[in-house]
Structure formats: structure tokens, C-alpha cells
Amino acid sequence: MKALVAVKRVVDYNVKVRVKADESGVELANVKMSINPFCEIAVEEAVRLKEKGVVSEIIVVTVGPKEAQEQLRSAMALGADRAILVESSDAVRPLEIAKILKSIAEAEDAQVILLGKQAIDDDNNQTGQMLAALMGVGQGTFASEVVVDGGKMNVTREVDGGLQTVELKLPAIVTTDLRLNEPRYAALPNIMKARKKPLEMKAPSDFGVDAASKIQVTKVSPPPERSEGVTVGSVDELIDKLKNEAKVLG
């Protein structure tokens, strides 16, 4: 059984994001880039399924610039067997990515398809759901536990009211949440081995997909700075400030 894991190259979560001076986007020059944290959880889950003997091969794929090879190598250092980079300098939107992933999943006959629930740069939370719709298969989103048994998968989902467990027939889509697992660190020998693992280069056109974005970003601006908080001495003073300064009370 093959597992297909989609990952995304994003600004490292420890980096303070800065807006470009011309407000055309986020500053990426000389900025540390990493695997999206939710995608890293998806890679870890695939590796655990392989260690249990459920999965025989892990294929990691990303859509992005040539530099995204670095993140694919990192995923292979964590345990993925091979990688596919669909190279594009465009900001490819979730629907086009889902179409590309559909073609790869079907060509590879992947039974378990894992994605992070969202990326920390655009927070769309769309690709997994779109992929499930395009493939016509079941999906388990916001997964906190995944159990594969034969041709079925039980996914425990985090929902507003608590936890929900769904049973999916394979192939199926899973989008991973924070509490699913804690990703391991790549050992130096595995980092060295990852350099020799196969990495295939593709283009969106190979899958009949037009990667050009249909959305134009007109302006990116930082949020307004918040004023410092103040300490009040009594409830009456708090109410007075809410009424007369913040003007949130009538």
C-alpha cells in the first residue's frame, strides 16, 4: 500500500514575517523556509504507518519553486522514500494543487493520501477537501488519530463538540491536526541518505493544469499596532474606560 503525502514550503514558524516595503507581498529574501508544520505531522504519520507495516512506500510531493527541493529532502530524511516536485514560480491556488495531487495519487495508486489541514502562510484549509471531491473518495479532516485496518481507515476528528470518529473506505484523504503526533527530528545519517533518494521533477502542464493564479494580490499590509494595555483599580473605572475611551459600551 502506498501513501502519498503533500507538503508545502513556507516561512519557518519561528520567523517574524515582514511585509515588503512596496506592500506587494511578504518578504522572502534571506528568510528561513521550512516544511509547513501541519504537513510535517502528515509526513510523520505516514512514517509511523510504514513502521507498523501498513504502508510499503511513502511518496512526498509539493508544488512550488525549485528551492522546494530542500523541503522534499527534509521529508525524505524523516522517512519518505521518494519525492516529486511540481515546479512552478506562480502562487498556485488550492484547486489547481488538488488537480495535480489527484493525477499523482491515481497514477501511483496511493491508498492513503495525507495532507496538513492548512498552511500557516495562507490558512486556506481547502486543498484536502477539494482533492477528496475531485477523486470522489472519503475524507477525514482535522485528524487526531488514524487507524488503518485492511481496506478501511478509522479517523478520529477534532470537532467543535469534541471528537468524532469516521470510517473511510480506501483510498481516502486525511488532513492532519496538531494532536495527531509529534514529528521526529531527522538524524544525520538519514539526512545524508535523503540526498540519494529519487526526486522527480515535473511541471503543472504535465498534468494538464494551468498554474497561473486567477487572483491578483493588490496589497499586503501589516496589522495595525495595538496600544499597550492598562491596569484598572476597580470595576467602576473599567466600565468608565469601556464607555468613554474604548466606546464599546452604550
**CATH at 211:** 3.40.50.620
- Predicted confidence (pLDDT) per residue in 144-202, tens digit: 999 999 899 999 999 988 999 999 999 999 999 999 999 999 999 999 999 999 999 99
Residue 59 covered by a domain:
yes
Greater pLDDT, 229 or 202: 202
Average pLDDT over residues 23-43: 93
Residue 66 covered by a domain:
yes
Q: Inform me whether the pLDDT recorded for 53 exceeds 80.
A: yes
Q: Inform me whether the pLDDT recorded for 244 exceeds 80.
A: yes
Residue 245 covered by a domain:
no
The alpha carbon dihedral of 132, 46, 175, 149 has a sign of: positive
Cα–Cα distance between 186 and 206 in angstroms, integer? 32
Average pLDDT over residues 210-232: 86
Cα–Cα distance between 11 and 73 in angstroms, integer? 17
Report the pLDDT value the prediction gives residue 216, as an integer from 0 to 100: 84
Is the preceding omega at residue 204 within 30 degrees of 0, hence cis?
no
Domains identified in the chain, total number: 1
| Among the ranges given (20-29, 64-73, 91-100, 117-126), the one the predictor scored with the smallest mean pLDDT | 20-29
Report the pLDDT value the prediction gives residue 133, as an integer from 0 to 100: 98
Greater pLDDT, 223 or 71: 71
Cα–Cα distance between 17 and 120 in angstroms, integer? 11
Report the pLDDT value the prediction gives residue 128, as an integer from 0 to 100: 97
Residue 234 covered by a domain:
no
Report the pLDDT value the prediction gives residue 3, as an integer from 0 to 100: 98
Residue 88 covered by a domain:
yes
Q: Inform me whether the pLDDT recorded for 250 exceeds 80.
A: no
Q: Inform me whether the pLDDT recorded for 116 exceeds 80.
A: yes
Residue 179 covered by a domain:
yes
Residue 224 covered by a domain:
no
Q: Inform me whether the pLDDT recorded for 211 exceeds 90.
A: no
- Predicted confidence (pLDDT) per residue in 131-159, tens digit: 999 999 999 999 999 999 989 999 999 99
Domain extent for 43: 2-215
Q: How many residues does the chain have?
A: 250
